[in-house]
Amino acid sequence: MKPEYIAYEKEPVQIAEGIYWVGYADEHRGLHCNPYLIIEGDEAVLIDGGSRDDFSNVMLKILRTGLTPSQIKVLIYQHYDPDLCGSLPQFESIINNDALRIISHEDNNVFINYYSPKTEKLDFRDLDNHYDFASGRRLDFYLTPYSHQSGSFITYDRQTKTLFTSDLFGSYDDQWMLFLELEDACRECRDISLYTCRERKCPIEGIVKFHEKIMPSNRALSYALDIIETLDIERIAPQHGGVVSSKRDIKALIQHLRAIKNVGIDKWLAEEVK
């Protein structure tokens, strides 16, 4: 195993105040999933908990934060894919608390029920688009429809200015690192097809290709980016790929995503014409 992967094998990684990456690093995967745990006082929220097969690794990291599973009060699922929701029954079992709630969107909850109908499922819009910890720490929810599901949304932690973006800013890349840092040349680049560095793979390519394939249309992606640009963000924590902790890098990535000519069906149709 690569040294950089060993560092993430068993331990949670704190990415901001009270926020821990509790994902699973595997050098043989191009698609890495990033569940995040927010601990505030004696309660916690888990965002996009992960797949069924990754549960034991995710749970080990959660326990190593010192948290007792019953302290997890809420599971947030930003859409309904199995890489986010597959471990729901295991979490229900080990948390073992009738007060546990799931926060998502009505369109997602229809499908999340197929993982388990047990836990009460709330639509974040019925919560006035936010969730408050007992301390007053607030998470705000913003709908980003069709990025990439109809009920997809993003979650903003006001305290640390961390934005959990689910598939947005995600990447499929076999050179994964937990923290993505761009070089000046990458920030200034306007056409990744002209990338000439022979020492490393283009760090933007995996992000661009992921969005071309996963997002259904340019309009949906553009709408989501418009919302994101209204927020004061210190870091982006995507469900795939690496955490982005620089405002300059966030701005550069938004520019790269806006520059994609064909997303989703438009890309497919363009390739068919060829």
**Amino acid letter, 209:** K
Give the strand order in the sheet containing 153-157.
Answer: 130-132, 138-143, 153-157, 162-166, 235-238, 243-244, 179-180
Give the pLDDT of residue 191. Answer: 66
Pairing verdict, β 19-21 and 13-16: antiparallel
pLDDT in tens, 215-261: 999 999 999 999 999 999 999 999 998 999 999 999 999 999 999 98
Answer yes or no: is pLDDT of 54 > 70: yes
Instruction: Catalogue all structural domains in the chain, each as residue range(s) with its CATH number.
Output: 3-273 (3.60.15.10)
Please state the φ and ψ torsions of residue 60, each to the nearest 5 degrees.
Answer: -60, -45
Give the pLDDT of residue 30. Answer: 57
Q: What is the mean pLDDT of residues 123-147?
A: 98
pTM assigned to the model: 0.93
Answer yes or no: is pLDDT of 272 > 80: no
pLDDT in tens, 190-203: 766 655 554 467 77
Q: What is the mean pLDDT of residues 50-71?
A: 95
Q: Which two tokens stand for residue 115?
A: 């993982």
Mean pLDDT, all residues of the chain: 90
b/e map 17-52, b = 16+ CB within 10 Å: ebbbbbbbbbeeeebbbbbbbbbbeebbbbbbbbbe
Answer yes or no: is pLDDT of 23 > 60: yes
Give the pLDDT of residue 44. Answer: 98
pLDDT in tens, 94-103: 999 999 999 9
Answer yes or no: is pLDDT of 274 > 70: no
Pairing verdict, β 243-244 and 179-180: parallel
Give the pLDDT of residue 25. Answer: 73
